[in-house]
Amino acid sequence: MKKTDDRTVARVILLNLLVLPGWGSIRGGRLIQGIGQITLVITGSIIMLVWLFKELSEYYGLMFGNVKAQSLGWIGALGVFLIAISWIWALITSLLFYRSSILRGSTSLENFAAPPVQKLDVARVVLALTSVPDWKQQGDTIVRTFQFKDFPAAIQFVDAAAVLAEQAWHHPDIDIRWNKVTLTLSTHDAGGLTEKDFDLARKFDRLSPG
């Protein structure tokens, strides 16, 4: 997992800084930033080509004496400015991507090093269930089905739930049926339900509109 993350970070940085500003950003999941960076560098390059064409046209025109000298430097300067902004933006995106990967790695290590949680006994499970009334116990798991207005809303909820699960380093089983999302929680390492399951269930409940 760590090696894959390292390769992804290296790919984003190399593509952004050595191939094309924005290409690495897109490969790293920063779609809006990537499109913006590519748009800037392409626009700047087109302006530079226009400037070069005008400069060459003026140069050959002066050679034959049928063109007056004109100051066209501002066109080239604009192209260079846009390209420079694109590279700087891509560099910032690469650094932020690297920083976020470091933070994710630190969070993973902290959760890995945390002491194991204890399985709750029957009485504590019953008490914990009162804090998540929409969840139902099924053996050594708790389950809830969330319903949304349509499929995109359900996927938006799943994306948000995935962020919370990754932060907690505790991942539910997810079943998606169009506008319905069923989450199942259990702490497999502990052999059943723990406080981690109920804590994450409460966080998922706060994500749901109703």
Report the mean per-residue pLDDT for the chain.
81
DSSP 98-160: HHHHHHHHHHHHHHHHSPPPPPP-HHHHHHHHTT-TT-EEETTEEEEEEE-SSHHHHHHHHHH
- Give the DSSP letter of residue 188: G
Query: pLDDT tens digits for 58-114?
Result: 666 655 555 555 555 677 788 888 888 988 988 888 888 777 766 555 454 455 445
Starting at the edge strand found earlier in the chain, the sheet holding 173-177 runs 136-138, 141-147, 180-185, 173-177
The Cβ-side half-sphere exposure at 99, using a 13 Å CA radius, reads 6
pLDDT for position 17: 75
pTM of this prediction?
Answer: 0.47
CATH code linked to domain 122-207: 3.30.1360.20
Sketch the domain layout of the chain as residue ranges: 2-113, 122-207
Residues 80 and 153: their CA atoms lie apart, in Å, by: 43
